[in-house]
Amino acid sequence: MTDYLVRVMTRFGTVRALACVTTTLVQDVCRRHGTYPTPCVALGRALTGGALMGALLKTGQRVALKFEGNGPLRKVVVEADSNGTVRGYVAVPDVDLPPRQGKIDVAGALGRVGLLTVTKDLRLKEPYQGVVGLRSGEIAEDLAYYLAESEQVPSAVALGVYVEPEAGVAAAGGFLVQSLPPADGEMVEKIIRRIGDAPPVTEFLRSGKTPEGMLEFLFDGIPYETLEKRPLAFRCTCSRERVERAIVALGREEVADLAAKQEKADVLCEFCRERYEFSREDVERILSEMAEEKPPGES
Ligand code: ZN
């Protein structure tokens, strides 16, 4: 099954829900970063949460989630856009923690004290930013807390990544359910009960159920309409041109220093681990092009 997301809405628009499978993209990203199981599950949950958040954006908009905690994993960063493209990384990919009560200890790795920062590029003058304290360090609960507190939308979030000891990521996915105004209390109660009865997301997926099947379970007996089904994939937005712009942004002095002292410059994209190599000649060319630019204020 390739990765995709389904978005549905109840008849009077009071509850919307999204469900997705992200197994392939989580495999892809975790392999690139060489993550150990615990960081892989943390990153996979965040990537899945990012995919769900991205699906709520309008065309061309982007969202970034940054989970920072006091644990050894330190940081998980994920970016997603409205087209179903996701990328992300963890600060320390080789954190090795024993399971806690038989489960991968994501909260122990990320830490239970910290911040979740959500930045949205809505193509306005200023990006929108919301910050909340970490609720549990388990990612899904933190995201639900952010949505309720910062965006004032009561939300339930479930995110799951199942890692096989040898084979790696075997299943990943999640769902997001939101109560929209005017709130239909009775319907929300009913769905909350179903969420409570639902097996973990990865159990759903491993038993062969689809995101559509997950939503059918959650909306048991409640009529809804499917608004959209879209593919999801890992993709990085880095390019040699962008890396070159980042080198230019270092300023003349730094670039001159680089050209003088280094045989070559290696730049590693932290999101996808792609390595960009710049020879001394490349750096000298960048420097000479910078010299041609007139300083600001001069005409
Ligand atoms: Zn990249």
Domain 240-292: CATH class, spelled out: alpha beta
Specify the pLDDT at position 238: 95
Distance in Å, CA 157 to ligand 1 centroid: 28
Angle between helices 140-149 and 37-54 (to 10 degrees): 30
Name residues whose C-beta falls within 8 Å of residue 294's C-beta, 6 or more positions apart in sequence: none
- Residues 173 and 157: their CA atoms lie apart, in Å, by 11
Residue-level pLDDT, tens digit, the chain, 299 residues:
699 999 999 999 999 999 999 999 999 999 999 999 999 999 999 999 999 999 999 999 999 999 999 999 999 999 999 999 999 999 999 999 999 998 999 999 999 999 999 999 998 999 999 999 999 999 999 999 999 999 999 999 999 999 998 889 999 999 999 999 999 999 999 999 999 999 999 999 999 999 999 999 999 999 999 999 999 999 999 999 999 999 999 999 999 999 899 888 899 999 999 999 999 999 999 999 987 665 565 54
Specify the pLDDT at position 298: 54
Domain 4-234: CATH class, spelled out: alpha beta
The residue extents of the domains of the chain are: 4-234, 240-292
The answer to whether the 4-234 and 240-292 domains have the same CATH topology is no
Distance in Å, CA 242 to ligand 1 centroid: 10
Distance in Å, CA 28 to ligand 1 centroid: 13
Specify the pLDDT at position 84: 96
Distance in Å, CA 131 to ligand 1 centroid: 26
Distance in Å, CA 119 to ligand 1 centroid: 19
Taking Cα atoms as reference points, which of 196, 153, 197, 141 lies closest to residue 16? 153
- Tell the residue number behind the tokens 């009560």, with chain if given: 101
Q: Give the CA distances from residue 219 to residues 16, 169, 190, 215, 228, in Å, rounded to whole numbers and listed in that order.
A: 10, 28, 8, 6, 17
What is the number of alpha carbons within 13 Å of residue 183 lying toward its C-beta?
13
Residue 5 near residue 55, CB atoms below 8 Å: yes
Helices then strands, counting H and E runs in the chain, come out as: 10, 13
Specify the pLDDT at position 290: 87
Specify the pLDDT at position 90: 98
What does pTM read for this prediction?
0.93
Rg (C-alpha) for the chain, rounded Å, is: 22
DSSP codes of every residue in 187-253: HHHHHHHHHHHSPPHHHHHHTT--HHHHHHHHTTT--EEEEEEEE-EE-----HHHHHHHHHTT-HH
Specify the pLDDT at position 294: 56
Distance in Å, CA 80 to ligand 1 centroid: 13
* SS3 state at 167: coil
Distance in Å, CA 173 to ligand 1 centroid: 23
- Tell the residue number behind the tokens 């995919």, with chain if given: 51
- Residues 184 and 11: their CA atoms lie apart, in Å, by 12
Specify the pLDDT at position 77: 98
- Residues for the chain: how many in total? 299
